[in-house]
Structure 1
Amino acid sequence: MPTKFTGDACPIIRTIDELWLLSGLKDLTDTTVVDIDLTEVKVKWEDIKIDCTTLFIGCTLSLETELALRAREANFLHVPKVLPFRPIRRNLYTWRELMEGYSPEQDNSADLKIYEHFEFGKRCPSINEALWQRLHDFSIDEGLRRLLDFSPSGLPKRKVVGFMGGHSTARTTEDYRRSLLTAKLLTEAGYFVVSGGGPGIMEAANLGAYLAGRSDEDINWVLATLSKAPTYKDKGFQEAAYAILDRFPDGAESLAIPTWFYGHEPSNLFATYIAKYFSNSIREDTLLAIALYGIVYAPGSAGTTQEIFMDATQNHYVTFDYVSPMVFLGKKRYTEDTQLFPLIEQLAAGRDYAKYLYLTDDPAQVVSFVDAHPPLFVE
C-alpha cells in the first residue's frame, strides 16, 4: 500500500508563476486554484478550459469575473477573514509566525489564539469549522510533500529520522542531553530530524539538529543556559531558547509536526519548518509515515508507548512498502522499567523488521545502526 505522500502532489495550482500563468497552462479542469489574487494579473479566461471540476478556494477576483466563470460551471469557496488561522496555506509554519504577539509578560501569540479558537468547538465543531480545519490540514500535507519531495519509489529526498519521547522531560536530565546529542550526530551524518514539535524530548531533538557542527563547549553553554528554566512551566522557558537563537542565529534545518489537540504548549523554537495539525490522528500517522529512515525512541510515557506500537504495526504489515529502524534510546526504560523492547522483539520474530530493532544508550551507536539499516523495500 503506497504512502499518501508517494508520487506527485495533488493537482493544486499553488502560485501564479510556478504552475500556471508563466507555464501557459490552458486546462483547469479537475484542478483547484488556491489562495491567488487574480485582480492584479490579466488572464484571458476565454482561452482557458474550465468546467464543473474547476474549483477556486480563497482566491481574490472581481465579481464580474467570478460570475462569468460560474456561468461556465466553475465552483468557488471563499474563506472567512475572521478566522485566527488561514485554512489554505502555501507553506508550513515557522516559529516566528506562531509566536507573533508573544512577550514574557503575556502570551498573546498567534499559536495561543488558534488553540483557543480550536478548543472552543473541538468536541463538536460546526460543519463550516470542520471544513476549514480539514482544508488547513490538507494544506499542511501539501507543504510536507513539497518539503520532503517524495520520489515515485516512495522515499523522500531528505533522509527523515523521527524522534519520540516525553514532552515533560526536563532540560536538565540525561535523557534530554542524550537525545540532543543523538539528533546532532544524525544531522551531521546527513539525516533530517523530525519531532513532535513540543517541549521535552521533542525540543531536544530539534535543538540537537539545530546545533549540528557546534563544539562541545557550545553544547555545554547551551545546556547551562537551558538549566535556568528546566521545564515549559518554568518562568523564563522561552527566554532561555531565545538566548540560544541570539548566540547561534544560523542553525541546521529540521522539522516539527505538532498539534493543537492536546492543549497549548510553547512552540518549539528550534525547528525550521513546523507542520502543525488540528487532527492529532493524522498528525501522528504522518509523522511515523515520513520517518522512513528510522525513529529514535527516548524515554516517554503513554504517548510514546502508543507511538512505538503504531510504528511496529507499520513495520509489521509493511504499510508503506518499507521497513525502517526502530531505535530504543534508553536501556533502563525499555528493559527494566518496562518490557517494551523485549515485547517488540517477540512481536517481530520471523518478520523483516526483527533485524531493524536496536537498544542502546550511546548516541554514536544510533547513527551507526541507522547507517547500516537503510529503508528496506518489501514487495
Structure 2
Amino acid sequence: MKRTRGRIVHVESLDDLDHRLAAGATSMSGWRVRSVDLTGRSAELRRSRVDGATFLGCTFASGDAERVAAAGALVLPAIPDVPVDVHRSALYTAEELVDAPAYEDSLDARAYAWSQRPWEPEQELAQTLHDHAVDQALQEWVRGRRLVGVMGGHAALRGDPTYAAAARLGQLVGAGLTVATGGGPGAMEAANLGARLADRPAADLDDALAELAEVPSFRPSVTDWARSALTVAAQFPDGPESLGIPTWHYGHEPPNLFASAIAKYFRNAVREAVLLETCDAGIVFLPGAGGTVQEVFQDACENYYADESSVAPMVLVGEEYWTRVLPVWPLLRALAAGRVMEPHVHLVDTVEEAAALVGGGQLHHLPSET
C-alpha cells in the first residue's frame, strides 16, 4: 500500500483499495483512485461515502460509474487511442520511455507521433490531463530535495570538451544537491550523466565519456544513441538521483536517459515554467543558443521581482561566450544592479567555480566579473 495520508490519498491498485477498506475506511473523500478495475467492488462502493472522491481511468461494473458520480464523486474515464497514461501517478523512467529495441517503436516515439496528429478536442483534453498528472507527480518527487538546474545547449556532441565540462559540473553539483536539467541531449544529457556518477571516482566518468563518444549524436540513429546510453547507465544503476524535464514539443530530439526521474510534458510553456520554479537552489547556465538565452532571462525575471528570501543564484559559465559571443552578461548585470538579486548573479569561467557557488564544490579562486 502506498503510504499516503491526509487530505489527498492516492490509490493505485485494487490491493491498495482493499487494504484501506479492510482497515476501516468508510469515506473516500479526497481519494484519487487511478486506473483500478472496480468491476468486482460494487458492494464496497455502495457501502462507502464517495462524495469528494476522484476516479481517474477506472473500470466500473454496469451502472456504478453513474451512481458514484450522482453521489458526488468525480469520474474521469480513460481516453481511448492515447499512448500515454493520462492519469499516471509517477514520473517516467528511461526504461519506460524507451521500452522497445528500436526507438521508433518506443513509447516516447509513439507519444510524439500522436501529439503531431491533426488537432482534436479529445487530444487536447488528454494532453492537459497528462501534464497535470506529471505536475502532481513532480511536486511529490521534489519534496525534501534541493535542486540545482543546469541549462545549456542541446547541440553539444558526446566527445566534445563542452560535453565533458557539463558532465563534470553535474558530478560536482550532484555530490551535494539534486541536479535538474531540461532533459534533452547535449549539455543536458551530460549533466544528468555526471550527476549519476556523483559518488564515483572521476576516472569512472572519464570511462563513461569515452564509451559514449563512440556514438556522438542521436543523428542518424536515435536507436544507437539511446542504446549506448542505456548500456552506460546499466553500469551505474544505483547512482544519485537526478531529474530531467523534457517536452514532446521538441520530440524530434529524444530525451536523455541518464536522469533517474523524467517529467515529460506535452506543453513546452508549462515545462519551461516548471523547470525554473523547481530549481530552488539556483541555476547554472552553460553556453547555449536561443533556448538557453530565453531561460536566462526567464530566471532573471523571477529573481528581479523576488524578495530577499526567494532569490536563487544565477551562474553563467564562460566569460568570453557570455560577454562577446552572446553578450548576455552586460544586460543581466545592468538588470540586477541595485536589486536584491545583484549579489546572487555571477559570471565565471570554469564549472568548478560554478559548482562552488551553488554549493556543489570547493571554491578556491573566483576571477573578477568583467
TM-score, normalization by structure 1: 0.85
- Report the counterpart of residue 79 of structure 2 in structure 1: 80
Q: Map of 1:1-379 to 2, 5 A cutoff? A: 11=8, 13-15=10-12, 17=16, 21=21, 24-29=24-29, 32-39=32-39, 44-51=44-51, 54-103=53-102, 107-121=104-118, 125-149=119-143, 157-188=144-175, 190-235=176-221, 236-318=224-306, 322-371=310-359
* Post-superposition offset of 1:75: 4.0
Tell whether the 8 Å contact from 1:9 to 1:142 is kept in structure 2 after alignment. no
CA distance in 1, matches of 2:308, 2:10: 27
Give the structure, 1 or 2, with the largest relative contact order (CA under 8 Å, sep 6 or more).
1
Percent of residue pairs bearing the same amino acid type? 36
Give the drift of 1:263: 2.7
Structure 1, 35-44 or 218-227: larger mean CA deviation: 35-44
CA–CA distance in structure 2, aligned partners of residues 345 and 20 of structure 1: 56
Alpha-carbon distance in 2 for matches of 1:28, 1:248:
42
> Is the contact made by 1:13 and 1:20 (CA closer than 8 Å) also made in structure 2?
no
Q: Provide the residue aligned with 1:5 in structure 2.
A: none
Q: Is the 8 A contact 1:14 1:35 kept in 2?
A: no
How far apart in 2 are the matches of 1:315 and 1:38?
Answer: 48
Q: CA deviation at 1:136?
A: 0.3
Contact 2:79 2:122 in 1 (8 A): no
Report if aligned partners of 1:211, 1:251 keep a CA contact under 8 Å in 2. Answer: yes
Aligned partner of residue 265 in structure 1, secondary structure: coil
- Between the aligned partners of 2:7 and 2:326, the Cα distance in structure 1 is 43
| Per-residue deviation, residues 279-332 of structure 1 (Å, max 9, x unmatched) | 100000000001010111011000000010100011111289611010111222
CA contact (8 A) 2:307 2:340 kept: no
State how far apart, in whole Å, the 1-side matches of 2:308 and 2:267 are.
Answer: 21
Q: Contact 2:29 / 2:49 at 8 angstroms: preserved in 1?
A: yes
Moved more, 324-333 or 70-79: 70-79
Structure 2 counterpart of 1:248, one-letter code: F
Kindly indicate whether the alpha-carbon contact (under 8 Å) linking 1:26 and 1:48 is maintained by their aligned counterparts in 2: yes
Native 8 Å contact 1:9 1:145 kept in 2:
no
Alpha-carbon contact 1:185-1:367 (below 8 Å) kept: yes
The Cα shift of 1:98 comes to 0.7
Separation in 2, partners of 1:342, 1:195: 25
What is the deviation of 1:49? 2.9
User: Which sits farther off after the overlay, 41-50 or 317-326?
Assistant: 41-50
Secondary structure of the 2:270 match is: helix
Structure 1 portions without partners, runs of 5+: 1-7, 150-156, 373-379
Distance (Å, rounded) in 1 between the aligned partners of 2:88 and 2:345: 38
Specify the SS of the correspondent of 2:341: helix
CA separation of 1:23 and 1:320: change in aligned 2, threshold 3 A: farther
Deviations 1:198-241 (A, max 9, x none): 10011011001011122232222222212222222144422332
Would you say the 8 A contact 1:160–1:290 is kept in 2? Answer: yes
CA deviations over 1:14-53 (Å, ceiling 9, x no partner)? 43638954664444456654322324557633443334x5
Distance in 1 between residues matched to 2:349 and 2:220, nearest whole Å: 28
**What letter is aligned with 2:145?**
R
Amino acid across the alignment from 1:226: L
The alpha-carbon distance between structure 1 residues 21 and 335, as it changes in their structure 2 partners (threshold 3 A), is: farther
Q: Retained in 2: the 8 A contact 1:99–1:110?
A: yes
The 8 Å contact of residues 12 and 34 in structure 1, kept in 2 or not, is answered as: no
* Counterpart residue type for residue 205 of structure 1: A
Paired with 2:22 and 2:284, the residues of 1 have a C-alpha distance of 44
Q: Structure 2 regions of 5+ residues with no counterpart?
A: 361-370
> Could you say if the C-alpha distance between residues 290 and 75 of structure 1 is closer, same or farther in structure 2, counting changes exceeding 3 Å?
closer
Q: CA RMSD in A?
A: 2.7
What is the CA–CA distance in structure 2 between the aligned matches of 1:184 and 1:205, rounded to whole Å?
7
Count the aligned residue pairs. Answer: 352
Q: Residues 14 and 90 of structure 1 are in contact (CA less than 8 Å); yes or no, is this contact kept in structure 2?
A: no
The Cα offsets for residues 330-369 of structure 1, whole Å up to 9 and x where unpaired, read as: 2221112122112111101111111111112222222321
Give the 3-state SS of the residue equivalent to 2:347 in structure 1: strand
Counterparts of 1:12 and 1:211, CA distance in 2: 35
Q: Is the 8 A contact 1:176 1:204 kept in 2?
A: yes
What is the letter of the counterpart of residue 109 of structure 2? L
Q: Per the alignment, do residues 70 and 222 of structure 1 end up closer, same or farther by CA in structure 2, a change over 3 Å counting?
A: closer
Whole-Å separation in 2 of the counterparts to 1:320 and 1:38: 51
Partner of 1:377: none
Question: SS of 1:322's equivalent?
Answer: coil
8 Å CA contact 1:314, 1:320 repeated in 2: no
User: For the Cα contact (< 8 Å) 2:282–2:312, is it kept in 1?
Assistant: yes
